[in-house]
Chains A and B, each alone.
Chain A
Amino acid sequence: MNKNLWMRDIKVIPFLLPFLVVYIIFTILPVFKGLEMSFYDWSLIRKIEFVGFENYQKMLFDPHFWRSLWNTTLFVILTTPTMVLLALGLALLANLNSKLKTFFRTAFFLPSILSVAVISFLAIFMLQPYTGLLNTGLHSIGIEAEPFWMADKILSWVSIVVVTLWWSVGFNMVLFLAALQEIPESLYEASEIDGATRWEQFRYITIPQLIPIGRVVILLQILASYKVFAQILLITGGGPAGGTRPLIQYIYEVGFTQNNMGYAATMSYALFYILLIISIIQLRSQRLKES
């Protein structure tokens, strides 16, 4: 009996093994390796010595850690509501009954397929002072200001958020658009017979029907925004004076520039827990939706 089971199960090995090996080495193992590294003084070259909770202690009292975690959180706070509302608005436009709707959808989505390197340098060349497209445009319509879009404390955040919205809102828009197209036509027909106005239809049919996908979009957006790194690194370099530096950039600098992989791994763990909690909430709410 047992031998038969083995004979049966052995057939599955060639199917499962390739995925399993790669998955364990590159997805599962790093979680444990990271935990190990966080208890060591560990350089780019080698493991140096066991230091217990020293890295964790350091993290708790490291103002740069808290500053960059706050910057990342600020980015989440700024981008999540704007992204979700803009995505909803764009989805409504792309769902208009018009010949233009395919063009709208294409236009709104197009930036999100571009590389972060490309969109960052497009932003830099548009926003840089004296010669950038935006400032020269302002000059040509008679506004003689010279805003430093990427170096001013507040404007740099505005620039990063606007560029990120432009770049990645298309993805959320598509999620809303799919949900809009799934709302049964009969709901609108029935309400029309009852004499509902357009606004009432929107308020009492469209919005409630979009709440489940809205929840998914919000959580996916929080998750994505917590991982922010490349566009900030490339556009402001984390400046001015660390004012926009996100957590992942700080982790990178500690690991690769300051040659302290142990401490970098410790801070990665902090990020890991934040993201893990958010994804558990997300899976929960998706399950709720399905049941």
Chain B
Amino acid sequence: MKKNSVLDRNRDPLRNVKKAIGLVVAIIFIFPIIWMLFVSLKPDGFSTTNPLDWFTPPFTIANYIDLLLNSMILRWVFNSFIVALITTVLTLFITSLAAFAISQMKFRYKNIIYIFFLVGLMIPGEATIIPLYEIAKNLNLIDSYAGLILPMIASPIGVIILKSFFDSVPKEVIESAIMDGCSYFKLYYKIVLPLAKPALAAIAIFTFIGSWNDFLWPYLSILSETLYTLPVGLPVFNSTYSQAYVLPMTANAIASLPVIIVFLFFEKQIVKGISFTGIKG
């Protein structure tokens, strides 16, 4: 393999051209994000018509302190975090239980129930959001954390991924555990779950980022400013500034840095997760 790649390297005359193109494109891709971070570090009220000025000192972190202390941003960060965290935990919990039942337990109508879950894959949330609002309203879920969380946790794709993972647990392991008088709950908790850690991690990361960034449902269902999540609060915050750049960019940076850090830490799992689910978080 190694030898072959060296060979490859010598063979491709356009290699350096391709690398240069890649580099230029990569820089274009991250440039807006880098710009955002630079602008967020400029003194409040700074404005310029020379683009290069954004990237030169003076810099300050005063905006971050200012926004975290004197605006609703910290509250929205907290809301987003709590909602994303609870959504993730509940999603893992109910999807893994259901996947365990489908994968390891014997009961009647199992196939029908599994197909019933698969149907959910074809129901696009965006197209049922109006009746969902009506249902949430009748259940008193509008303008509440529970209203943000509950409609998001029953993920059929999660069940499908976990089922296929649970299916691959060796039969002998399961059988010997049952012979030893292991209950289903113990089997689920002690044996099957630990073996599915990679799948659980991938689902957790996707659910968390998906919830952190979700826009449409929080936009419709949250009315009070104190319950806004970041994606809903940011536009409200940003649109009070039209020509000032520094504070809105600081707000955007505060919303983005946590996910960027999570992403850089878990990039491998995220990328792998995408290619085995093929579904957007």
A contact set with B: CB distance below 8 Å: 5, 8-9, 11-12, 14-16, 18-20, 22-23, 25-31, 33-34, 36-37, 42, 90, 92-94, 96-98, 100, 103-111, 113-126, 128, 131, 133, 136-137, 139-140, 166, 171, 174-175, 177-178, 185, 189, 198, 216, 220, 223-224, 227, 229-230, 234, 248, 251-252, 255-256, 261, 264-265, 268-269, 271-272, 275-276, 279-280, 283
Contacts and interface: CB of A to CB of B under 8 A. Distances in A.
Give the interface SS of chain A, mostly helix, strand, loop or mixed: helix
A121 B126 contact: no
Interface stretch (B60-68, B100-108, B172-180, B195-203): B100-108
Given A117-B235, A234-B235, A271-B126, 17 more contacts: A9-B108, A16-B113, A22-B94, A27-B120, A28-B119, A96-B22, A117-B238, A119-B32, A121-B235, A121-B238, A125-B39, A131-B49, A136-B51, A137-B51, A175-B274, A175-B275, A230-B216
B131 A33 contact: yes
B98 A15 contact: yes
Given A16-B97, A110-B30, A117 B132 contact: no
Contacts of B51: 133, 136-137, 140
A28 B120 contact: yes
Nearest to B280: A171
A166 B29 contact: yes
Given A12-B105, A171-B280, A22 B130 contact: no
B19 A96 contact: yes
B112 interface: no
B115 interface: no
Contact of B122 (A9, A230, A256, A279): A279
A137 B51 CA distance: 6
B171 interface: no
B121 A279 contact: yes
Contacts of A174: 271, 274-275
B26 A113 contact: no
Contacts of A271: 124, 126-127
A90 B11 contact: no
B186 interface: no
A278 to B, nearest CB: 9
B190 interface: no
B72 to A, nearest CB: 14
A88 B132 CA distance: 37
Interface of B: 1, 4-5, 8-9, 11-12, 14-15, 18-19, 21-23, 25-27, 29-30, 32-33, 35-36, 39, 47-52, 54, 93-95, 97-98, 100-101, 105-108, 113, 117, 119-124, 126-135, 139, 150-151, 153-154, 156, 159, 184, 188, 209, 212-213, 215-216, 219-220, 230-232, 234-235, 238, 242-243, 245, 248-249, 252, 255-256, 259-260, 263-264, 267, 271, 274-275, 278-280
Nearest to B183: A11
Contacts of B33: 110-111, 114, 122
B97 A122 contact: no
A16 B99 CA distance: 8
A144 to B, nearest CB: 12
Given A22-B150, A122-B32, A261 B97 contact: no
Contact of A261 (B101, B130, B256): B130
Contacts of A97: 5, 8-9
Given A22-B150, A26-B154, A27-B123, A11 B35 contact: no
A33 B129 CA distance: 11
B150 A11 contact: no
Contacts of B130: 34, 37, 251, 255, 261, 264-265, 268
Contacts, number: 276
A189 B235 contact: no
16 contacts: A26-B151, A27-B128, A97-B9, A104-B26, A107-B27, A107-B30, A108-B26, A109-B267, A113-B209, A118-B256, A126-B35, A137-B51, A174-B274, A220-B279, A264-B130, A271-B127
Contacts of B231: 115-118
Contact of A122 (B36, B94, B232): B36
Contacts of B230: 115, 117
A23 B157 CA distance: 12
A184 to B, nearest CB: 12
Contacts of B260: 110, 113-114
A62 B119 CA distance: 31
Contact of A229 (B126, B159, B188): B126
Contact of B127 (A113, A166, A272): A272
A31 to B, nearest CB: 6
